[in-house]
Amino acid sequence: MKVRFAPSPTGYLHIGGLRTALYNYLFAKNNNAKLLLRIEDTDRNRYVKNADQQIIKTLKSFGIEFDEGPFYQSQRLEIYQKYVKQLVKEDKAYYCFCSKERLDEMRSAQIAEKKIPKYDRHCLNLSEEEIKKKLDNKESYVVRLKLLDNQDVIFKDEVYGEVKINTNNMDDQVLLKSDGYPTYHLAVVVDDHEMDITHIIRGEEWLPSTPKHILLYQMFNWEIPKFIHLPLLLNPDKSKLSKRQGDVAAEDFLKKGYLPEAILNYIAFLGWNPKTTKEIYSIEELIRDFDIAKINKAGAIFNIEKLNWFNAEYVRNIVKEKGQRYEKLLEKSKKYFPKNLEKNKLENIFIVLSSRLNYLSELEESSKFIFELPDYDSQMLIFKKSDLDKTKAGLKLIYKQLENNTADWELENLDNLLKNIVNNSELNPGDVFWPLRVALSGLDKSPSPSEILWILEKNESLDRINIALNKLK
């Protein structure tokens, strides 16, 4: 068994492309099959320089490795041309010299008559002499497939079931373009055959093209591989997943600091379901359980909140483990903090903030108040069920207790210290915890007061409480 991932280098790797690559990868590993990478770069108009390198790099960042390739279609032109010649010789394809103007005119006329636009076979019956003359004159041409009339094309997709279409509703598609490059349809069939691909796993958008491919397989008398089309990815409003509603480039998510394994875990479920309630799957577990029989037909919604949940879950688990992955994550998070931060402080900040983040780059914003107290309005210090006097009393009490504190400056001790203040005084939690939290962070939302105390350490904490008391004077 052999599968392939065949991106076109027209831009960044989309999240949908990544899912296709992942499913091919999971299938290959699960079945002990080979996975091949093929760059489909025959559409020179849509070609983006270096996009292939970028795609390859992104796949690598996700740990998706290939057994063969990359193969470039642009380096295989002679192969396609050879096969096209063969089809022409066997009267299964023909030269077409129609100009773009003529084709445009024909198309407009057909649309005006409410017909489905298709080539009118103007060049189908050119004589051999005419063809030779035009070729000698270096007239521009394409080669088209010669469809038989009224022939049913039937195949079975492993996900979508039987597909049937009549050639009367199909077009004499172009196989070879005027620039000597093959169309996608020709190249994909020739390559999948030549590269011994047994299972074609790709996006649903290619399902309508598949009858064209089937016809080509039949004309060449080649064995037809299995087709597994994957459901579309959708925006939450059920439109096709697009840039307009947020990020769709896989590498943008990496840049934001999402973990590759969390992204893979989430997108594995976009179109496939192991039919259990377990959600966190390691890549090994995905490989073990992946099964094309459990691929869904219905479009799958790409939900950023759900991805955030997966990512946060991964981060929390990694922090809990405190193993190698934790060290790596800590290292990765460094770039979001000021340079030269001591390891100990970095770690405390990371432990506190990582329990609240969606993705790593949020650390830059969420840690700002630690390095510089934001200016805030004194009114913010007073909890809605408290008043000025109680707020002042609370802060003064805390100041004194912290100043005299002899226990280690550890989270648990600090927690207890604050609890004792509330328990042993007339003050309510709102008179103590709220103003302290605001004094330490300058924010209306932040980690808990004891966590901030722990991060800021004694001197900075006392300074900030003083600032608050001065504001209340």
Binding site for ligand GLU (CB under 6 A): 6-8, 40, 188, 202, 206
d(CA 56, CA 69): 11
Query: Contact at 8 Å (CB) between 211 and 277?
Result: no
Residue 326: DSSP 8-state:
H
Is-contact 146 218, C-beta < 8 A? no
Minimum Å gap between C-beta 278 and ligand GLU is 30
Task: Mention every residue, 6+ apart, whose C-beta is less than 8 A from residue 350.
Answer: 319, 329, 330, 333, 363
> Is 439 within 8 Å of 402 (Cβ atoms)?
no
Least separation in angstroms between CB 301 and ligand GLU: 21
CB nearer ligand GLU, residue 200 or residue 440: 200
What residues form DSSP beta bridges with 68? 36
Min dist CB 193 to ligand GLU, Å, is 13
Between CA 6 and CA 17 the distance in angstroms is: 9
Tokens 């991964």 belong to 314
| 118 counts as catalytic | no
Distance, CA of 108 to chain centre: 39
Work out whether strand 152-157 and strand 161-166 pair parallel, antiparallel, or are unpaired: antiparallel
Tell me how far apart the alpha carbons of residues 416 and 407 are, in angstroms, rounded to a whole number.
Answer: 11
Residue 188 beta carbon to ligand GLU: minimum distance, rounded to whole angstroms: 5
Q: Which is nearest to 31 in space by CA: 284, 287, 239?
A: 287
Among candidate residues 115, 243, 320, 322, the one labeled active-site is 243
User: What minimum distance in Å lies between the beta carbon of 230 and ligand GLU?
Assistant: 10
In the complex with ligand GLU, which residue's Cβ is closer, 8 or 366? 8
Q: What Å distances lie between residue 78 and 75, 134, 222, CA to CA?
A: 8, 22, 19
Pairwise CA distance, residues 345 & 361, whole Å: 18
**Is the Cβ of residue 13 or residue 395 nearer to ligand GLU in the bound state?**
13
Q: How far is the CB of 50 from ligand GLU (least distance, A)?
A: 16
Helix segments in 96-229, DSSP class H: 100-112, 128-136, 184-194, 210-220
How far, in whole angstroms, is CA 345 from its chain's centroid? Answer: 33
Minimum distance of ligand GLU from residue 40's CB (angstroms): 4
CA–CA separation, 196 and 200 (whole Å) = 11
User: What's the min distance (Å) between Cβ of 185 and ligand GLU?
Assistant: 9
Beta bridge partners of 162: 156
* Omega before residue 435 within 30° of 0, cis: no
Q: Pick the closer one to ligand GLU by CB: 7 or 260.
A: 7
| Cα separations in angstroms, 107 against 93, 116, 121, 250, 432 | 21, 9, 13, 38, 77
Whole-angstrom Cα distance, residue 26 to residue 403?
A: 58
Which sequence positions are flagged as catalytic? 243
